[in-house]
Chains A and B, each alone.
Chain A
Amino acid sequence: DGGITQSPKYLFRKEGQNVTLSCEQNLNHDAMYWYRQDPGQGLRLIYYSQIVNDFQKGDIAEGYSVSREKKESFPLTVTSAQKNPTAFYLCASSIWSRDTEAFFGQGTRLTVV
């Protein structure tokens, strides 16, 4: 079945460590996105990518980095520079055309201990 897979579902990190969240899609979608969800703040865009080897900063990119070496993969690294990394992270993808929705993965809950 086609879809978006995020792994792991739960992740614990020690303060000061970098951690990478995985996102893989087999929908053959061009665009991919990373969002962060915090209580009462909805989904905020971290990074997005239209094509391989190209990505853009979203509204809250500080402390995060991404890569897009393959069409199906868009990993997100939460660096030690991110001041409040504990959150629920969501990856999404969409077709590059009008009038289409973004499809989401099941999310990764990151907790800094």
Chain B
Amino acid sequence: DQQVKQNSPSLSVQEGRISILNCDYTNSMFDYFLWYKKYPAEGPTFLISISSIKDKNEDGRFTVFLNKSAKHLSLHIVPSQPGDSAVYFCAARYRSGTYKYIFGTGTRLKVLA
């Protein structure tokens, strides 16, 4: 059972435009949500996060929105740049003994110059 879902395997956006990546989750026990960026054959790097008590967090060109009632998370990148091209993973955390991080299947973003 996939607790964190990214239903769009890929997304192409023109340079300078907005990229919107979406993520849905099912577990109400998740208390912290994260976005990671990943290049092939490398480990994921942390991008931005949001606590379950907030609905928005902004860091430069990156903004994450959380809609708890809809169990939906989104990442906005404005403006998109060619260097943003990568696979983006949504992750959610809950406590089961220690904290567990559950990841989605990823969305491959391609920013076209």
Contact = CB atoms under 8 A, between A and B. Distances in A.
* A, B from the same assembly: yes
Interface of A: 4, 6, 30-31, 33, 35, 40-45, 48-50, 56, 58, 88, 90, 92, 94, 96, 98-99, 101-107, 109
B49 A99 contact: yes
5 contacts: A41-B105, A42-B89, A42-B106, A48-B98, A106-B42
Given A31-B99, A33-B101, A96-B99, A101 B41 contact: no
Contacts, number: 67
A99 B34 CA distance: 10
State which size class the interface on B falls in. 20 to 34
Most chain A beta carbons < 10 A, residue from B98, B100, B102, B105: B98
B46 A103 contact: yes
B44 interface: yes
Interface of B: 4, 6, 9, 31-32, 34, 36, 41-46, 49, 51, 89, 91, 96-106
Q: Is the interface of A mostly helix, strand, loop or mixed?
A: strand
Given A101-B34, A101-B46, A109 B41 contact: yes
